[in-house]
Amino acid sequence: MSLLQQLTDASRAGREYLLAAPAIRRAMSGDVTRALYLAFLGQAYHHVRHTVPLLMAVGSRLPDDKGWLRSQVVHYIDEEHGHEQWILDDIAAAGGDPGAAAAALPRVETDAMVAYAYDVAQRRNPVGFFGMVHVLEGTSTALALDAADRIQARLGLPDRAFRYLRSHGRLDQEHVEHLAGILGRLQAPEDAAAVTQCARAMFWLYGNVFRSLDAVAA
C-alpha cells in the first residue's frame, strides 16, 4: 500500500471532523454571511503568512539523505510566496479592512495550528510537514472552487474578492499530484510515521480553526 493511501486511511476520522465543521457545511450549502467570509479570510491570513517561513525552516533541517527534498521545498516556496497579500486584497474587495485584519491577533485555534507546524519543522522530523501539506491542499482541492462559487452567488461579491480561494483551488489540484510523487519516494518508516502523525493532528487543528469562525464573525 502506498504512503498516500496509508495516510488517507489513517487520517479518515480527522478529515471527517474537519468537513463536519459548521462553517464548512454552511459554505457548501450557500448559507454564508459576509462576516463569516471575512472571518475565514482573516484567519487564513494568519496561517498563510507563515507558509514560506515554515517551508524555509523545513528545508534548513532536512538531513543529507533527504537532500532531494530541498528542490521540492524551493518549488513550494516559489508557488506560495505572496499569497497572504492575495488574502488582504480579497478582504478589501469583500468590504473588509485589510489593515485591521493583518493587525488583529489570530484566534488561539489558528495560533495552535501554526505553532504545531513550527514544532514539526523545528523540533520533530521536518519531513512530517508534508502531512500538513496533505491536509491543507487536499481540503482546498475538495472545497475551494465550489465554495467560492456558492459564497459569491450568496453574497454578490466581485470576482476579485475570491483570488485566494480560486487560485488555491486550481494550484492545489496540481500540488496534490506533486505531493503524491514526494510521498512515493519516502521509504523510511519514521518518515511515514511523521507525515501521518502531522496529518492527523492538522485535520483536528484545522477543524478547530473552522469551528472558531462563528465566534470571530460575531
Q: What pLDDT, on a 0 to 100 scale, did the predictor assign at position 169?
A: 58
Gap between the Cα atoms of 72 and 88, Å rounded: 27
What pLDDT, in 10s, does the model give residues 112-165?
Answer: 999 999 999 999 999 999 999 999 888 776 688 889 999 999 999 999 999 999
Can you list the domains of the chain with their CATH numbers?
3-217 (1.20.910.10)
Q: What percent of the chain has pLDDT over 70?
A: 94
Comparing 93 with 218, the larger pLDDT belongs to 93
Is residue 16 classed exposed, middle or buried when 0-12, 13-18 and 19+ CB atoms within 10 A define those classes? exposed
Q: Classify the C-alpha dihedral 37-49-62-190 as positive or negative.
A: negative
Q: Could you tell me the pTM of the whole model?
A: 0.93
What pLDDT, in 10s, does the model give residues 10-67?
Answer: 889 999 999 999 999 999 888 999 999 999 999 999 999 999 999 999 999 999 999 9
C-alpha cell at 13: 476520522
pLDDT at position 215 over 90:
no
Residue 198 · residue 20 · CB < 8 Å: no
Band of residue 173 on the pLDDT scale cut at 50, 70, 90: low
Arithmetic mean of pLDDT over the chain:
92
Q: What pLDDT, on a 0 to 100 scale, did the predictor assign at position 167?
A: 84
Quote the DSSP letter at residue 106. Answer: P
